[in-house]
Structure 1
Amino acid sequence: MGADTPWEPQIDDIVRDSETNRIGRVMDRFGVRYSLRPLKGGCEWEARPGDLHPVTMSDLLSTAVAELNQRSSKGVL
């Protein structure tokens, strides 16, 4: 990808949806919308291309910490 070529998510890419602040795997593309699924499975959701961004290590760590905090608050570790 060249410096002037915009990034475009591909099937199986892991992306951050800035509209919902969720991380998911790109499952498919329908017209101008992408279908995403949570990394650990679950219900898919749709996202606009402009809301999708490549995932950073920081994004993945933040998600993992949030999940652990949620589990800890329920007494499940």
Structure 2
Amino acid sequence: MPDEDGPAQQEAPTVPAPGLGSLVMDVVRGRVGELRRERGGLWSLRPIEGGQHWTVAPADTRPVTPGERLRAETTRRNARSRGALL
């Protein structure tokens, strides 16, 4: 029998923020980024090789896999060896 107060509303699950500097995968964009800050319920991610940051909803991220972490760290080292600003 339906609830007399109406259907129960489910809250969106909250995703705990990993530590600043952690690597996360933006599943919408398919990019790995470094967590720079959290503001207004959104996370600011920075590309591993440097460049313009982007904003993502925490629900659109996941932890990186070991392979993704290795690729990201290699990308960072290669950017530094080229003299890219990080």
Aligned length: 61
How far apart, CA to CA, are the structure 2 residues paired with 1:8 and 1:49?
A: 8
Question: How many percent identity over aligned positions?
Answer: 32
Larger gyration radius, structure 1 or structure 2: 2
The counterpart of 2:53, out of the listed 41, 44, 49, is 44
Instruction: Please say if residues 48 and 72 of structure 2, whose CA atoms lie closer than 8 Å, have aligned partners that are also in contact.
Output: no
Query: TM-score of the superposition, structure 2-length normalised?
Result: 0.59
Deviating above 3 A after TM superposition, structure 1's stretches of 4 or more consecutive aligned residues are: 60-64
User: Which moved further from structure 2: 6-15 or 40-49?
Assistant: 6-15
Gap regions ≥5 residues in structure 1: 1-5, 68-77
Residue pairs, 1:53-64, within 5 angstroms: 53-60=62-69
Q: Residues 63 and 11 of structure 1: is their aligned pair in 2 closer, same or farther, counting only changes over 3 Å?
A: closer
Query: TM-score of the superposition, structure 1-length normalised?
Result: 0.65
Calculate the aligned-residue CA RMSD, in Å.
2.3
